[in-house]
Amino acid sequence: MKATALSVTLDDGQQVSALLELPQDARACYVLGHGAGAGMTHPFMTAVAEGLAARGIATLRYQFPYMERGSRRPDTPKLAQATVRAAVAEAARQVPDVALFAGGKSFGGRMTSQAQAASPLPGVRGLAFLGFPLHPAGKPSVERAAHLADIDVPMLFLQGTRDELAEQALLQATVDELGARAQLHWLDGADHSFHVLARSGRKDVEVMAEALDAMVRWIDAVALR
């Protein structure tokens, strides 16, 4: 399946690129934001989009403005959240009448959750995070999670047990505090990029398959509510 190139227009008139992966008879659409260091065409993002398409879930990947410009400095939270909001609106136009979900990899997921906390994203049924960046590497903290308490839609955290941006005990406690709204799926031996060491006996592709299978089960369960 070949992704369709789109353009997403923000309220201020800025435009960013997007890619729509739309399988036949898609039953949901996931609006997928990229991480801070690589854009929507990174192999990780492509693997997620293609893997979800194979499982009957559409995706709309999009660029944040700084990545579109080729800059290394992420946008301000205000601009990033506006981009998330515009991408969600575009997904709703492109794939109407299916359950809508949003989130993304690291930075993309956190900007999505901040946008949702500030003002609910229209039509979004739940948020799925592919490696939530709870804190900077080597600086354990839960400050980045404070806004999650203001989110009232279901949340799924897919997290590697070797993720240096989310100390296990801290993330587990954070998710526990969110109660029934949140679920946490640990990917054994995986790091922030869902990479596993050779000595683990597993391969990255197996970890990705586990993550996507877990996400699809969650999407289907939320969509049936």
- pLDDT tens track for 153-176: 999 999 999 999 999 999 999 999
Q: What is the pLDDT of residue 114?
A: 98
Say how many domains are in the chain.
1
User: Residue 12 sits in a domain of what CATH number?
Assistant: 3.40.50.1820
The model carries a pTM of 0.96
Task: Write down the pLDDT at residue 152.
Answer: 95
Q: Classify residue 165: in a domain, yes or no.
A: yes
Domain-located, residue 2: no
Can you give the residue range of the structural domain that contains 48? 7-223
Give the model's pLDDT for residue 188.
96
- Give pLDDT, residue 132: 96
Task: Collapse the DSSP code of 154 into the 3-class scheme (helix H, G, I; strand E, B; otherwise coil) and give the result.
Answer: coil
CA–CA gap between residue 192 and residue 168 (Å, rounded): 12
Tokens of 66: 């700084």
| 1 in a structural domain | no
Task: Look at the chain and count its residues.
Answer: 225
Residue ranges for the chain with pLDDT beneath 50: none
Query: What does each C-alpha distance from 2 to 46, 60, 83, 191 come to in angstroms?
Result: 11, 13, 24, 29
Tokens of 12: 């201020």
Radius of gyration of the chain, Cα coordinates, nearest whole angstrom:
16
Whether residue 70 is contained in a domain is answered as: yes
Q: What is the pLDDT of residue 79?
A: 97
pLDDT in the model for residue 204: 95
Residues 6+ apart with CB under 8 A from 27: 56, 57, 98, 99, 220, 223
What local confidence, expressed as pLDDT, does residue 225 receive? Answer: 82
